[in-house]
Amino acid sequence: MAQYDAWSKHEFHKATAMHGLGTPPTEIRRAIGPTVDTVEAMVYRKLSLPRISARTADVQRVEWIVENLRKLSSLVREGKQIEEIAVEFRTTTSAIWTTISRHNVRSGSILRTCMCCIRPFFFEGYQNRLCSNCSTGEMA
């Protein structure tokens, strides 16, 4: 099924049945084909079914330490899709989006340690020595 095609009645029934069995959207996506965001929109908005927690046995909470941030940065630099990155870390796509936004991960950015608070942050030029929290606070 192409990503932008309309869902057939069979796919609606299959998604509804899988949801009734407690299957999270990541598993429904594997069975039907579109992205997780499309599955969530169809199941939760169009069909108005109650939300199922995405935290299942195969989805875990990722601790964003320096090694994981470096791995995330390299995957973004390679041009991987968010769904592929989420599978790599065994977490949800929303967790990946939040981390990318929170840590300002971009394809050309490099991980560096803040000179003030010693926390890792991504920067694009060598003039950046402070993270965004320290550069906008009293230390600036």
Q: How confident is the model at residue 58 (pLDDT cuts 50, 70, 90)?
A: low
- Shared domain for 55 and 100, answered yes or no, is no
| Same domain, residue pair 1 and 53 | yes
The count of structural domains within the chain is: 2
pLDDT, mean over the chain:
78
Q: Do 48 and 96 lie in a common domain?
A: no
Q: Which long-range contacts (CB under 8 A, 24 or more apart) does 108-116 make?
A: 108/77, 109/73, 110/73, 111/66, 111/69, 111/70, 111/73
Q: Clarify whether residues 10 and 70 are in a common domain.
A: no
Q: Do residues 72 and 131 both lie within one domain?
A: yes
User: Are 126 and 82 members of one domain?
Assistant: yes
pLDDT for residue 5: 59
Are both 44 and 95 inside the same structural domain?
A: no
| Region 128-137 average pLDDT | 77
Identify any residues that bridge with 119 across adjacent strands, giving them in sequence order. Answer: none
Instruction: Decide if pLDDT at 17 tops 80.
Output: yes
> In terms of residue numbers, what domain contains 107?
66-136
pLDDT of residue 105: 81
Report how far residue 39's alpha carbon sits from residue 12's, in angstroms, rounded to the nearest whole number.
Answer: 10
Asked if residue 79 and residue 125 are part of one domain, the reply reads: yes
User: So what's the pLDDT on residue 69?
Assistant: 87
Q: Are residues 51 and 95 in the same domain?
A: no
Question: Which CATH number covers residue 52?
Answer: 1.10.10
Predicted pLDDT at 1: 44
Same domain, 53 and 34: yes
Same domain, 50 and 82: no
- pTM for the predicted model, two decimal places: 0.51
Last-in-domain residue among 59, 85, 105: 59
Average pLDDT over residues 123-137: 75
Do 77 and 127 belong together in one domain? yes
Of the three residues 41, 59, 77, the one that is the final residue of a domain is 59
Determine what percent of the chain is predicted with pLDDT higher than 90.
0
pLDDT at position 26 is: 77
